[in-house]
Structure 1
Amino acid sequence: MADNNAADHEQSFVESVKEKITETFHKDDSASSDSDNDANKSSPVSDVKDKIYRLFGREKPVHKLLGGGKAADIFLWKDKKVTAGVVGFATLIWVLFELVEYHLLTLICHTLILALAVLFLWSNAASFINKSPPKFPDVVLPEDIVLGVANAFRLEINRALAILKAIASGKDLKAFLGAVAGLWVASILGSYCNFLTLFYASFILLHTLPYLYDRYEDKVDAFGEKAEAEIKKQYAVFSVKVLSKVPVGALKAKFA
């Protein structure tokens, strides 16, 4: 009887070990299958993210497109005090020149008169009030900054001239029509406001539109996708009805 009990005990022990091993393998298989399912599920999501429409084919964040430095922080209102100061100063200049009708030379002269008067009185009154006179630092315009700004302007002007040359060459009709439309809109805006007001409006838009786009990026991209599809549709109709009837080949052969 003792031998039978020992055999039964040994057999039950072996069966319990087998059950534990089987459960372990089942858990590993289920975990691997779940991970495979998760991998299969994550790939379509990543594919969808890769295929999300971005305005103007943008691939980088807005902050990177604006340079990624201090200027980008100002445009996107990352440093609200600095941005508010810049916008406030631009608004003050526009109010003085446009609403108050100040002239540039008059403003510079009045500012210099006020600054010189304050510093002159401070320097002479310092001995009477037992305070040190103001220290005037040596203000020198660095040569590298001047050359850097001039070089940046030179590069932008050369780029604009290259674009105008490419448009005027007659190889891209779409670019030509876009340039004519842009200049026509600019001429209409110029008839309603002067250069200072137009510059100020552009300055305010530069500090407003990137911030709004960065905040409402998904909604703007969805609307831009629909608008681009509609524009392409209308351009295709215009190309069939109008552009296809323009004898471009005959003109090229005539002027060749």
Structure 2
Amino acid sequence: MDLAKYGIKDPKVQDLLMWADPKKSGMTLGGATVAYFFLEKSGYTMLSLLSNALLIIVVACFLWSNLAGIIGRPPPPIPKIELKEADVRSVTDLAVAHFNKASAFVYQVLTGSDMMLSVKVGGGLWLAGKLGGLFHFFTMIYMAVLVAFTVPKVYQLKQKEIDELLAIAMVHVKKYYAVIEANVLSKLPKSAPKKEE
């Protein structure tokens, strides 16, 4: 399975997810499982965990800075981050196009100018809300890690069988989509063509 087409281009990450070194991959997945177990059992929410971690960092740096002066040691090596105007302009120029595209999408969905798109987005949000209500944030992160460590390797080992099953599933999905389109979606009003001024 070529993970580069899914955005994973680093060879070390690809080897880790494809179990090139089973010991390293197993230890990473095991570590993620142990971390998930302790985070889930701790009862902390993401916000409280992040706040407490930042509080510990602030207190530690404060104590280190003040005690370093007393005992004659250097303060903590914290870099001062400054942005260069040229770098910000290049990022802004790139972000403007993406922002405008996203804004046009949101406008199209919220105004209902494309009824089909609004229905799809509404259905996706409803499904995301239902799934989000079933799992805690840490559970969803752990499930993503678990899928990343299992699905590519299983697909590599059983590619022929999985491709056959996916082809059968796609035939059924297309058949049901055709029924939904004929009975529901075709009855929705089409978006009106835009008038040019």
**TM-score normalized by the length of structure 1:** 0.48
Query: Aligned pair in 2 of structure 1 residues 172, 232: CA closer, same or farther (>3 Å)?
Result: farther
Aligned to 1:225: 167
Q: For the residues of structure 2 that align with 1:91 and 1:227, how far apart are their CA atoms?
A: 31
Aligned to 1:39: none
Aligned to 1:180: 122
Supply the RMSD in Å over aligned alpha carbons.
4.0
Query: Aligned pair in 2 of structure 1 residues 211, 177: CA closer, same or farther (>3 Å)?
Result: farther
Return the structure number with greater relative CO, CA threshold 8 A, min gap 6: 2
Alignment pair present for 1:72 and 2:14: yes
Query: After superposition, what is the alpha-carbon deviation per residue over 1:215-234, rounded to whole angstroms, capped at 9, x for unaligned?
Result: 21111111111111211111
Q: For the residues of structure 2 that align with 1:208 and 1:218, how far apart are their CA atoms?
A: 17
Query: After superposition, what is the alpha-carbon deviation per residue over 1:139-177, rounded to whole angstroms, capped at 9, x for unaligned?
Result: 777x8xxxxxxx99xx89x8698467436525583x554
Structure 2, unaligned runs of 5 or more = 61-75, 82-89
Query: Aligned pair in 2 of structure 1 residues 95, 64: CA closer, same or farther (>3 Å)?
Result: same
Q: How many pairs align?
A: 157
Moved more, 95-104 or 182-191: 95-104
Instruction: Report SS of the residue matched to 1:196.
Output: helix
Paired letter, 1:99: K
User: How far has the Cα of 1:208 moved from its partner?
Assistant: 1.4
Q: For 1:197, which of 109, 125, 139 is the aligned residue?
A: 139
Q: For 2:2, which of 46, 62, 72 is the aligned residue?
A: 62
Structure 1, unaligned runs of 5 or more = 1-60, 114-137, 144-150
**TM-score normalized by the length of structure 2:** 0.61
Task: Check the 8 A contact 1:168/1:176 in 2, yes or no.
Answer: no
